């Protein structure tokens, strides 16, 4: 009976709590964060009220848990208590976000007020600002700009979390409706259903969590808006300050003096570190020699090894400190140079070399990036070794010599890690300085006008123009002189080509020179003018002739080994032009190839063959080999036509007909007169040869032209021989069969 009463009271409590949950869900159908245009103060009050009611529910559940024995009822109460505590924790987080929203709203209002009123321009009444003040503003702006990316990533993550919370709330609401429908369909009491109570609390927890995620998204959006407003205000302030900034020489000297003081302190520290390193090295080497002095127990040997290892770690740490201090001194010297660059850039002095500085900055940043990776690797290794030593120390006996040695190693590794961290900070600081200078160079290039931009380009061109390649007899050979010499030489070459061409035409037209002779004179004069032009140009740009003595040895070797063929052909070309054994228009035969000379150049001669092909022959080949020039002294050439007649033909009649055929052709020369020779008694014919002379000027200098003359004469000979009954012989053979007895002939059928 007692058990039944106790169970009834439990279910009554469950019914009351379920009723409260349902009523709370009805009253708060939407999350507190979805209250439209509710102010943060009203949201805070609403959340505090909800939190108070949740705490009352938690107290009731805890009371029931204290009265309930082990079983299903207690498990139900524990699950409900856990959900209620989660909801209470969400309320705590929402209160934090509401307070944050209040602060962000105030900050945003203040920034907007400054944007509207222009109160963000602190100190505009001051006549001027030091250059370091502009540096501070620029550093703040760079820091804000670097924070923009992470803030946007946080906002994106918050929006994704809010979407997930919305999906989860939708699922929990669907589960609650499903359980309610199942209980109503089964006729069960809704208020006393533990499943329904758990579903209601789960939906409520998802609802409050979605509200929290939404408030978080709104706050992150405010953060991004505030960040952009800060950047805008700071950019406006920098723009106003820039016109009032004065970078005096006294301020530059102050920065340089401060860096000199740092360098002096670092040098003092470096000397102490070197002495410390020498002492650590002596201790390590001494301990290393004593480690194998005599036979010792294993424990003593192990301790001795640990001691050597500790001394080695201290030596490495001291070496790292020496290296770090040397690097810091180098960084401070580089910073001095950067300050001088910035001063020159600010005042636009002639020392400004933005192109060279940009290249120098790029190289320095690449080197610093590599240094940073090495330092990070060193720092990570030190931290890992510290973890290993701590694990070994935890397993060692406290107060023993081994534990003391491990502690000594940990101290050395911690100091090594601290030095690595200091070096990393120095590298990052140097990167910051270089990037700042690069930004100033970029900003200056964007501000300069067209005239100044052209002046900058001209200064770069002028430096290249005046770049000294070498010097001879205290006379510099610059890039500009070489370019001027080349341009003058090219211009003179074109003028010389034009003048000599006109000279050749005048020689042919006025003085009745042969075209080939005029061409030879034209080429020789052209080469002489080029030599004179070269000497004139060298003297004009003040390049001494002794300049060529410097490279004379190399040229002599090149001519002797690699260029002798070219020089040989060039000299052969000059000889051909002067001696003229072959000239333009001549018909020549070179290596069994006949043709007309078209061009005699400095290196080669071009011949047009009778097949309308171009043959390029090196000049040295024409001089050194035997060639046939058909038109060297005159253009009369002899051709011959061979004909054979049958035995028994009237030979004098044949001679007369042949001379008649040659005399009838108008292109055959009468002097020397055609000639017929009875050449031979052939196997099948009497051989006659008709010799004729033709003029290349009349027939044309192509092989087909005088070949047509020969063809016409052969047609005429054939016609005359046919009229006179003279037979042109053809090969004949007499077959004599000598047999003692008659030849036997048989007919055989297959």
pLDDT tens digits along 106-149: 999 998 888 887 644 444 455 678 888 888 888 888 888 888 88
Q: Which SS3 state, helix, strand or coil, does residue 357 take? A: helix
Tokens, residue 266: 């670092």
Do 160 and 280 sit in the same domain of this protein? Answer: no
Nearest to 97 by CA among 202, 211, 201: 211
Looking at the domain assignment, is residue 517 inside a domain?
yes
Q: Which of 126-135, 382-391, 593-602, 726-735 has the highest mean pLDDT?
A: 382-391
Looking at the domain assignment, is residue 555 inside a domain?
no
Do 611 and 704 sit in the same domain of this protein? Answer: no
Positive or negative, the Cα torsion across 419, 424, 427, 433? Answer: negative
Do 21 and 149 sit in the same domain of this protein? Answer: yes
Domains in the chain, number: 5
Whether 587 contacts 594, CB under 8 Å: yes
Do 369 and 344 sit in the same domain of this protein? Answer: yes
Q: Between these two residues, 677 and 627, which has the higher pLDDT value?
A: 677
The per-residue pLDDT for 325 is: 92
725: alpha, beta or left, given left = phi > 0 and alpha = psi -120 to 50? left
The per-residue pLDDT for 271 is: 94
The per-residue pLDDT for 166 is: 92
Share of the chain above pLDDT 90, in %: 19
Q: What is the rounded distance in angstroms from the CA atom of residue 33 to the CA atom of residue 210? A: 8
Q: Decide which of 550, 574, 604 is a domain's last residue.
A: 550
Torsion of CA 296, 300, 301, 307, to 10 degrees: -140
The per-residue pLDDT for 369 is: 93
Nearest to 440 by CA among 127, 144, 228, 141: 141
The per-residue pLDDT for 167 is: 92
Degrees to nearest 5, angle at CA 454 with 453 and 456: 65
Looking at the domain assignment, is residue 735 inside a domain?
no
Looking at the domain assignment, is residue 316 inside a domain?
yes
Per-residue pLDDT band for 505 (boundaries 50, 70, 90) equals: confident
Rounded average pLDDT over 215-230: 92
Q: Decide which of 242, 273, 303 is a domain's last residue.
A: 242
| Phi, psi angles (nearest 5°) of residue 415 | -65, -35
Tokens, residue 198: 């758990």
Per-residue pLDDT band for 26 (boundaries 50, 70, 90) equals: very low
Whether 466 contacts 480, CB under 8 Å: yes
Share of the chain above pLDDT 70, in %: 80
Per-residue pLDDT band for 266 (boundaries 50, 70, 90) equals: very high
Degrees to nearest 5, angle at CA 693 with 688 and 698: 140
Please tell me whether the peptide bond between 367 and the residue prior to it is cis, using omega within 30 degrees of 0.
Answer: no
Do 530 and 641 sit in the same domain of this protein? Answer: no
Looking at the domain assignment, is residue 505 inside a domain?
yes
Q: What is the rounded distance in angstroms from the CA atom of residue 453 to the CA atom of residue 472? A: 36
The per-residue pLDDT for 579 is: 66
On the question of pLDDT at 16 being above 50, the answer is no
Degrees to nearest 5, angle at CA 575 with 572 and 579: 145
Degrees to nearest 5, angle at CA 251 with 247 and 256: 120
C-alpha 437: how far from chain center: 24
Q: What is the rounded distance in angstroms from the CA atom of residue 92 to the CA atom of residue 313? A: 50
Do 474 and 495 sit in the same domain of this protein? Answer: yes
Q: Which SS3 state, helix, strand or coil, does residue 685 take? A: coil
Do 252 and 134 sit in the same domain of this protein? Answer: no
Give the lowest-confidence range in 123-132, 206-215, 505-514. 123-132
Tokens, residue 576: 């051909």
DSSP 460-522: HHHHHHT-EEEEETTEEEEHHHHHHHHHHHHHHHHHHHHHHHHHHHHHHHHS---HHHHHHHH
Q: Between these two residues, 707 and 341, which has the higher pLDDT value?
A: 341
Give the lowest-confidence range in 355-364, 558-567, 575-584. 558-567
Q: Which SS3 state, helix, strand or coil, does residue 97 take? A: helix
Per-residue pLDDT band for 15 (boundaries 50, 70, 90) equals: very low
Listed in sequence order, the residues at least 6 apart from 372 whose beta carbon sits closer than 8 Å to its beta carbon are 424, 427, 428, 431
536 burial via Cβ count (<10 Å: 0-12, 13-18, 19+): middle
pTM of the model: 0.52
Whether 43 contacts 96, CB under 8 Å: no
Q: What is the rounded distance in angstroms from the CA atom of residue 268 to the CA atom of residue 532? A: 69
Per-residue pLDDT band for 29 (boundaries 50, 70, 90) equals: very low
- Segments forming the whole domain that contains residue 537: 470-550
Rounded average pLDDT over 588-615: 77
The per-residue pLDDT for 54 is: 83
The per-residue pLDDT for 518 is: 75
Q: Which of 58-62, 198-202, 536-540, 676-680 has the highest mean pLDDT?
A: 676-680
Average pLDDT for the chain: 79
Rounded average pLDDT over 723-731: 84
Do 265 and 407 sit in the same domain of this protein? Answer: yes
Give the lowest-confidence range in 27-36, 61-70, 413-422. 27-36
Q: Which of 13-27, 58-72, 391-405, 579-593 has the highest mean pLDDT?
A: 391-405
Looking at the domain assignment, is residue 740 inside a domain?
no
Per-residue pLDDT band for 564 (boundaries 50, 70, 90) equals: low
Rounded average pLDDT over 155-160: 92
The per-residue pLDDT for 332 is: 92
Looking at the domain assignment, is residue 558 inside a domain?
no
Do 454 and 347 sit in the same domain of this protein? Answer: yes
Rounded average pLDDT over 705-720: 84
The residue written with tokens 């009805």 in the block is 26
Looking at the domain assignment, is residue 729 inside a domain?
no
Q: Decide which of 463, 489, 521 is a domain's last residue.
A: 463
On the question of pLDDT at 701 being above 60, the answer is no
Nearest to 105 by CA among 262, 271, 237, 222: 222
Q: Between these two residues, 741 and 425, which has the higher pLDDT value?
A: 425
The per-residue pLDDT for 703 is: 52
DSSP 132-199: HHHHHHHHHHHHHHHHHHHHHHHHHHHHHHHHHHHHHHHHHHHHHHHHHHHHHHHT--STT-HHHHHH
Per-residue pLDDT band for 700 (boundaries 50, 70, 90) equals: low
On the question of pLDDT at 590 being above 60, the answer is yes
Give the model confidence (pLDDT) of 459-469 as tens digits. Answer: 778 888 888 77
Q: What is the rounded distance in angstroms from the CA atom of residue 233 to the CA atom of residue 144? A: 11
On the question of pLDDT at 545 being above 70, the answer is no
Give the lowest-confidence range in 30-34, 45-49, 64-68, 723-727. 30-34
Do 526 and 575 sit in the same domain of this protein? Answer: no
Distances in Å between the alpha carbon of 616 and those of 82, 322, 621? 104, 74, 11
Q: Which of 2-11, 550-559, 585-594 has the highest mean pLDDT?
A: 585-594
The per-residue pLDDT for 185 is: 62
Give the ranges where 396-449 is alpha helix by DSSP (H).
401-447
Do 228 and 270 sit in the same domain of this protein? Answer: no
Do 453 and 331 sit in the same domain of this protein? Answer: yes
Q: Between these two residues, 55 and 602, which has the higher pLDDT value?
A: 55
The per-residue pLDDT for 10 is: 45
């Amino acid at each position: 009976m007692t058990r039944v009463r106790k169970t009834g009271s439990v279910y009554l409590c469950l019914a009351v709590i379920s009723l409260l949950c349902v009523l709370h869900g009805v009253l708060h159908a939407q999350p507190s964060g979805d209250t439209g245009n509710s102010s943060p103060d009203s949201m805070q009050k609403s959340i505090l009220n909800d939190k108070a009611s949740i705490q009352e529910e938690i107290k009731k559940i805890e009371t029931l848990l204290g009265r309930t024995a082990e079983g299903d009822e207690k498990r139900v109460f524990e699950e409900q208590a856990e959900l209620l505590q989660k909801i209470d924790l969400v309320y705590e987080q929402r209160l934090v976000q509401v307070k944050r929203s209040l602060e962000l709203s105030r900050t945003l209002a203040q920034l907007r007020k400054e944007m509207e009123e222009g109160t963000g321009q602190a100190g505009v009444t001051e006549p001027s600002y030091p250059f370091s003040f502009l540096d501070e503003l620029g550093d703040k702006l760079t820091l804000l700009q670097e924070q923009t990316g992470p803030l946007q990533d946080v906002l994106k993550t918050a929006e994704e979390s809010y979407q997930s919370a919305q999906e989860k709330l939708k699922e929990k609401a669907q589960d609650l409706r499903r359980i309610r429908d199942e209980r109503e369909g089964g006729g069960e009491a809704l208020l006393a259903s533990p499943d329904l109570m758990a579903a209601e609390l789960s939906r409520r927890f998802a609802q409050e969590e979605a509200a929290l995620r939404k408030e978080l998204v709104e706050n992150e959006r405010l953060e991004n808006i505030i960040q952009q407003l800060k950047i805008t205000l700071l950019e406006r302030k920098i723009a106003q300050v820039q016109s009032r900034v004065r970078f005096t020489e006294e301020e530059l000297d102050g920065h340089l003096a401060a860096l000199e003081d740092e360098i002096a302190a670092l040098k003092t520290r470096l000397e102490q570190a070197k002495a410390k390193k020498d002492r650590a090295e002596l201790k390590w080497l001494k301990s290393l020699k004593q480690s194998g002095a005599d036979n010792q127990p294993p424990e003593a040997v192990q301790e001795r090894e640990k001691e050597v290892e500790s001394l080695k770690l201290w030596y490495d740490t001291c070496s790292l400190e020496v290296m770090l201090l040397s690097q810091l001194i180098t960084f401070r010297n580089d910073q001095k140079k950067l300050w001088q660059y910035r001063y020159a850039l600010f005042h636009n002095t002639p020392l400004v070399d933005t192109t060279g500085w940009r290249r120098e900055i790029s190289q320095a940043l690449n080197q610093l990036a590599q240094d940073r990776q090495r330092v990070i690797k060193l720092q990570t290794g030190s931290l890992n070794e510290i973890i290993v030593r701590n694990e070994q120390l935890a397993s060692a006996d406290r107060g023993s010599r081994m534990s003391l040695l491990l502690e000594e190693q940990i101290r050395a590794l911690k100091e090594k890690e601290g030095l690595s961290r200091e070096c990393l900070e120095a590298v990052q600081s140097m990167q910051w300085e270089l990037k700042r200078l690069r930004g100033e160079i970029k900003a200056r290039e964007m501000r300069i006008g067209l005239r100044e931009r052209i002046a900058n380009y001209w200064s770069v061109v002028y430096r290249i123009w005046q770049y000294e390649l070498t010097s001879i007899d205290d006379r510099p050979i610059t890039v500009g002189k070489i370019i001027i010499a080349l341009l003058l030489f090219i211009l003179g070459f074109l003028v010389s080509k034009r003048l000599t061409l006109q000279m050749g035409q005048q020689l042919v037209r006025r003085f009745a020179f042969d075209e080939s002779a005029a061409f030879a004179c034209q080429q020789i004069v052209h080469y002489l003018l080029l030599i004179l032009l070269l000497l004139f140009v060298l003297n004009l740009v003040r390049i001494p002739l002794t300049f060529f003595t410097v490279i004379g040895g190399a040229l002599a070797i090149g001519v002797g080994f690699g260029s002798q063929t070219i020089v040989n052909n060039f000299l052969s070309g000059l000889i051909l032009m002067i001696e003229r054994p072959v000239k333009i228009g001549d018909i020549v035969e070179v290596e069994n190839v006949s043709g007309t000379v078209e061009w005699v150049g400095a290196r080669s001669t071009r011949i047009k063959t009778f097949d309308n092909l171009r043959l390029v022959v090196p000049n040295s080949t024409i001089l050194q080999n035997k060639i046939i020039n058909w038109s060297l002294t005159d253009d009369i050439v002899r051709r011959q036509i061979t004909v054979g007649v049958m035995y028994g033909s009237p030979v004098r009649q044949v001679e007369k007909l042949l001379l008649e055929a040659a005399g009838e052709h108008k292109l055959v020369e009468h002097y020397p007169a055609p000639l017929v020779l009875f050449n031979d008694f052939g196997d099948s014919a009497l051989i006659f040869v008709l010799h004729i002379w033709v003029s290349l000027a009349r027939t044309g200098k192509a092989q087909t032209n005088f070949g047509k003359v020969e063809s016409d004469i052969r047609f005429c000979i054939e016609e005359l021989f046919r009229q006179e009954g003279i037979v042109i012989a053809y090969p004949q053979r007499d077959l004599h069969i000598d047999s003692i007895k008659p030849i036997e002939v048989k007919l055989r059928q297959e």
